[in-house]
Structure 1
Amino acid sequence: MRYDIVIIGAGISGLTTAAALFEKGVQNVLVVDYQQDRGGFASPFHQMASFSLEREIVQKSHTLPYDIWTQATVIGFFPGDGGEAHQIYVQTVKGTKTVEAKIVVIASGALEKPREAHRIAGTRPAGVMTPSMVAQLLKRGFLPGEKITLLDTGRMTKGIAELLADQDVELYMFDSDEWEVVEVAGRARLEEVRLQHWANQDRLSQPCDTLIYSRGRIPSSFFLKGTPVKRDETHAILIDEKGRTNVERVFATGSCTSLGDDEHLVSIGLARNMVPELLKSVK
């Protein structure tokens, strides 16, 4: 299979890129994503007013004539030399497929950075979760706990608070601009969270059975290990303002890049700014 452009990732930046390419008349495009549903990690929140633009982008993607493979994981990427096609190996539910592309756009997003990545002191009890994990539990009809501490770090944590508002739970919400989690305690299940105030260093202990926590992002660029595509110390793909990487005809956009942000707020703009450069390369 050969395409003019392959977009790795059907999150907001990937779908924004696809829609913009279609508006410019580009026809031969493939989008692949390992998740079952398009829209990225924030998709459980798209019905909320603060995610209305993301919701519109996902809805529009269903009208595109492009091949969009979900539950499809990139397991190998081999950039072409001297104008040769890039080769991509994709594991799908129907087996492994080999795809060739004139241009590759990496829009693979980023994972939430959990408690473990911050080396927060304490034991390792059950009940410490990221916002996306909680959203998936709620989507399936499960409550994460009964007495919940939530560190508010932005749109997704506010979305979680909104999802929990109608549930029979006790919710204790702390602003991450004022408080940081410094320790968790509990044996089999979380029993207490200890927080410290940024300004005055005061500490408090909050009894709870669940902590919803994430701070920062982990770019989903693992499949690039061993390739010449350059990444920074956080594994974010290094790009310029036009989305170009150090490899010819390989572009990247969104939260998996060095210009991305934790809240995914700049993803749409990055994707749109990249498209004119893509059009030059596809001709």
Structure 2
Amino acid sequence: MHTHHCDVLILGAGPAGLAAALAAARCGRQVIILDDNPRPGGQIWRDGPRVQLPALARRYQSAVANAPNIRLLSGARLIARPSAQSVLYETAEKSGIVHWQRLILCCGARELFLPFPGWTLPGVTGAGGLQAQIKHGLTLRGERVVIAGSGPLLLAAASTVGKAGGKVVAVIEQAPRAALLRFAAGLWRWPDKLRQLCTLMPGHLHTASQVIEARGEDRLQTVLVRHAGETREIPCDRLATGYGLIPNLEPGLIFGCATLHDALRVDEQQRTSVENIFAAGECTGFGGSELALAEGEIAGYVAAERPEAARQAIARRQRWRRFARALNRTFILPDALKQVVTPQTLLCRCEDIRCGDVQDATCWQEAKLSQRCGMGACQGRSCAASARWLYGWPLPQPREPLSPARTETLIALAKSAP
């Protein structure tokens, strides 16, 4: 068991976490970053053998690597909170405890999956999941790919698929065309985003549409798409779906941080409701990497007791908050998307639980206790969020350990309990 002490502990090495670390380090604080990925960058700057990272990402990674007062612990999963100001983590080889004076939560977000008949067929993945596979070496040469769901991640996924040799035969976006045109017309306020949209905009974009079924024998062969009450079938080899992002709240919830609109609630200085705990990036709400960088910088300076140094970041945050509001208005998910779910649709693939098995439950805990929903390898990270969106259940309180852990790690947790 390794024990570490620091002035500022940062959970997450995405854009917000890297910006927070650099800001706190500039103020002379000793910083530790705890991240469960093998390399820093988070999901948006995910590194890999086939990745050419943006110059901005490389600058942040290099600055963190060269800062003498920043220590990065990669491949480290958060397991529990042994005390009010410490965390227990585990890597593939060891476990450890970090004691901190200030904590900054930069835990990011994950994809929202909406179940539909056939979504567990081989060949069906998340849109971000397919991007991650490609960045780690997957080739799609000659494969026909349908990308479906909602939000700008679909366009980014389409671009990544094309670069990997795949053929994007359709991008199925649930938002109506009028909403997309209004959004695009307002992008003159953010010229970089307008140029990015022009670069990423694919052909075969179908608006106000939804994939309602994936079909195939041993693997995916076709998808059914509904538009304006009509259904058509599209042959394909892969389907990547994603309905936006949901904040990773679990670390904040085990520390008792309050939430607002299913995200961690923060004030203008990125402080949470718990003393000495801050939050930044997509765990406070989705807004893109630019907003995450600004929020992380603010949190880092304030945690280091230098709030006056955050003035420029506060101005940038305001600009990108406006972009985030426009983005979230455009891609809001209507309840009509729920109509595709049938009682036989699989909800929890780990435990083979179907939607009809839990549709009468009143909360996640009830579904978990009665049907083992969420008791498998992913510990409900996918199906819990899907069920909440489908049935309107209240936000569940996470329990420790947050991730499956080795016996010796759990023994260490028991010994460290006050």
TM-score by length of 2: 0.57
| 1:148-167 aligned within 5 A | 148-151=145-148, 153-154=150-151, 156-167=153-164
Cα distance, 1:225 vs structure 2: 4.8
Measured at CA, do residues 255 and 172 of structure 1 come closer, stay the same or move farther in structure 2, by a change above 3 Å? same
**Paired residue for 1:216?**
244
Query: Which deviates further from its counterpart, 243-252 or 54-63?
Result: 54-63
Shift of 1:268: 1.2
Match of 2:36 among 27, 34, 47: 34
Paired with 1:70 and 1:226, the residues of 2 have a C-alpha distance of 21
Report the 3-state secondary structure (helix = DSSP H, G, I; strand = E; otherwise coil) of the residue aligned with 1:18.
Answer: helix
Aligned to 1:194: 224
Contact 1:254/1:267 (<8 A) preserved: yes
Q: Tell me whether 1:170 sits opposite 2:173 in the alignment.
A: no
* Equivalent residue letter for 2:30: N
1:105–1:165 distance in 2 versus 1, CA, 3 Å: same
**Please, what is the CA RMSD of the aligned residues?**
2.8
Report the equivalent of 1:134: 130
Residue 275 of structure 1, CA deviation: 3.4
SS in 1 for 2:79: strand
In the TM superposition, 1:78-89 aligns within 5 A as 78=82, 80=84, 86-89=85-88
Q: Which residue of 5, 10, 14 corresponds with 2:8?
A: 5
Distance 2:153 2:61 in 1: 17
> Is 1:74 matched with 2:78?
yes
- The whole-number CA distance in structure 2 between the counterparts of 1:126 and 1:69 is 34
The aligned runs of 1:174-253 (5 Å cut-off) are 174=171, 176=173, 177=175, 178=207, 179-197=209-227, 200-232=228-260, 234=262, 236-253=263-280
Q: Distance in 2 between matches of 1:212 and 1:238?
A: 31
List runs of 5+ in structure 2 lacking aligned partners. 176-206, 308-418
Contact 2:20 2:301 in 1 (8 A): no
Change (3 A) 1:221 1:78: farther
TM-superposition CA deviations, 1:121-153 (whole Å, max 9, x none)? 446311111233223332343335822101375
Cα-to-partner distance string for 1:14-62 (whole Å, 9 max, x where unaligned): 0011112223x223111110110100012247736xx543343223322
AA in 1 matched with 2:102 = I
Structure 2 distance, partners of 1:252, 1:91, is: 22
Report the number of matched residues. Answer: 266
Inter-partner Cα distance in structure 1 for 2:120 and 2:91: 35
Structure 1 residues 183, 270: closer, same or farther in 2, change over 3 A? same
- Paired residues of 2:29 and 2:304 also in contact (CA < 8 A): no
**Structure 1 unaligned residues grouped into runs of 5+:** 81-85
Q: Match of 1:102?
A: 101
Tell me the distance in 2 between the aligned counterparts of 1:162 and 1:123: 22
Q: Which whole-Å CA distance do the structure 1 matches of 2:214 and 2:169 have between them? A: 15
The amino acid of 1:212's aligned partner reads: A
**136 and 119 in structure 1: CA distance in 2 versus 1, 3 angstrom threshold:** closer
Please state which structure has a larger fraction of its residues in strand: 1
> Are residues 185 and 165 of structure 1, via their aligned partners in 2, closer, same or farther at CA, if it must alter by over 3 Å?
same
Could you report, residue by residue, the CA deviation over 1:158-182 in whole angstroms, capped at 9, with x for unpaired residues?
3333333254433223252313323
- Cα distance, 1:130–1:56 mapped onto 2, change above 3 Å: farther
TM-superposed deviation, 1:89: 1.0
One-letter identity of the residue aligned with 1:279: A
Q: Is the 8 A contact 1:123 1:186 kept in 2?
A: no
SS at match of 2:221: strand
CA distance in 1, matches of 2:15, 2:124: 27
Which amino acid letter does the alignment assign opposite residue 280 of structure 1?
Answer: E
Aligned letter for 2:91? T
Alignment of 1:19-58 (within 5 A): 19-23=22-26, 25-44=27-46, 47=52, 51-58=54-61
Moved more, 7-16 or 151-160: 151-160
Secondary structure at the aligned position of 2:66 is classed as coil
The AA in structure 2 aligned to 1:74 is L
Flag the 1:154–1:53 CA change in 2: closer, same or farther, 3 A.
farther
Quote the offset at 1:10 in angstroms: 0.8
